[in-house]
Structures are given as structure tokens and as C-alpha cells.
Amino acid sequence: MLSPRLAAIASLVPEGSVVADVGAGHGLLADALLRSGRCLRVIALDASPHELPQAGLDRRWGDGLAPLKPEDGVDTAIVAGLGGAAIAGIVGRRPSGLTILRWILQPQTEAALLRASLLGSGLSLVDERLVEDAGRFYPILVASPGAGAPASFPGLTAEDVLEAGPCLLRDRPRELAAAWERQRERLARVDPAGPALARAERILAYLKGV
């Protein structure tokens, strides 16, 4: 059974996709997608051959998306479980000729950096989810090719929006307020005079005011 984080990522994969799972590791997500029947094909990518191939799973070794070829027909890429800067680097170094229409990106850290990087990569943020797993909140970003205009929200700075996530602020899932309440409590203990606490309070004020 997939963890809540991986299950949420899997739910964002469209039916009939050809998927590349970057940094697949043990291949749990890739194998689950393949067995579910929702994907036409799943390619599990990893930097080193530390796992034996699972039955029916196409496994390849190399840096990021480098092992892919245009003829693979990949239309959906998953990059999960890495820092935001590392994910941004993988997206930015994608080989030419690939026609990936949906990017599902799950950063462990630096989500704001990743959001900011998408515009420079020729992608726009089209959806976001926030999932709680083992006491921690994980953002999941969905991007597609195209230019997107920066979103603005009353009372929030551009940096606030990047930290909270424009699609999450738009949709206001219940997890968002819970995550920022927890963040505010943590910052009030460790950095009560810092700008991060002021940001958390602005975001919470916006969420409570709409």
C-alpha cells in the first residue's frame, strides 16, 4: 500500500498516460501505477542500479531525465522526494525533443524556489495539493507547458504567494490553514522576531479573511 504522499501523487496521474518516474528508488510508486492499469507504460528512472528490475517495469539508470528518448512517448513526468532546487535542476536540464505535458513535482524542501523556477523553465503551475503524511505536510505541484501570469492575493507579497502556493491559496484546502498554523506555532518558538513569522501571520490572516 502506498503512503498518503505517494497515493496523492498517483491520483494526479491522468488515465492512459505514459509516465516517467524520476528518482524511482525502490519503484513502489512506479510499480503501483503500472499494476493499477491507469498507465499505458511506466518508466522508472534512477541515478544508480541499486535495485533489481521488477516484473514488467521498464527501469533505466542515469541522471534525471537523460535516459529518456522522444520515441518513448512520455507525456507525464513525476519528480518526487527531492529538494526543490534539485527538482528545478532536473526540469531545467530535460532533454530536447521530449513532449511532456504534465509535470508532477513533490519537493521535500524549497517549494517556493521550485515554484519560482517553473516560469523560467517554460512551465506554468496549474494545480497544487497539500497532503499530510506521518505528521508532516507535503506540497505537490502540477505544471504544464506554457506561460503563466504571477497570481496576486490581497494583503500578500509575491514572496508570500510563492511560499504558500498560488493554487493552494486559490483553492484553500483545509490542510493549508492547518499547515500554516503549525508553521506559525513553530516560528513563534524558534524565531519570534523573524520575518518568517510575520509571513505566516499574513498568510493565515488572508485565509481567515476570505
Q: What is the pLDDT of residues 101-114, one digit of tens each?
A: 999 999 999 999 99
d(CA 143, CA 68): 19
Q: Rounded to a whole number, what is the distance in angstroms from the first to the last CA of the chain? A: 37
CB 187 within 8 A of CB 138: no
Q: What SS3 state is found at 18?
A: strand
For residue 53, pLDDT beyond 80:
no
CB 98 within 8 A of CB 133: no
d(CA 13, CA 105): 11
Measured at the alpha carbon of residue 139, what is the angle toward residues 134 and 143, in degrees to the nearest 5? 150
Query: How does 66-105 read in b/e, with b if 16+ C-beta sit within 10 Å?
Result: bbbeeeeebbbbbbbbbebebbbebbeebeeebebebbbb
Element containing residue 1 per DSSP (H, E): none
From the CB of residue 37, how many other CB atoms can be counted at a distance below 10 Å?
A: 8
Q: What SS3 state is found at 210?
A: coil
Q: What SS3 state is found at 42?
A: strand
Question: Cβ contacts of residue 80 below 8 Å, gap of 6+?
Answer: 5, 6, 9, 21, 23, 29, 104, 105, 106, 140
Strand residue runs (E) in 55-122 = 58-61, 76-82, 102-107
pLDDT tens readout for residues 64-99: 999 999 999 999 999 999 999 999 999 999 999 999
Q: At 172, is the pLDDT very low, low, confident or very high (cuts 50, 70, 90)?
A: very high
Q: Which of 19-23, 77-81, 130-134, 149-153 has the lowest mean pLDDT?
A: 149-153
Measured at the alpha carbon of residue 193, what is the angle toward residues 190 and 198, in degrees to the nearest 5? 100
DSSP state of 48: S
Q: At 183, is the pLDDT very low, low, confident or very high (cuts 50, 70, 90)?
A: very high
Name the residue type at position 91.
Answer: V
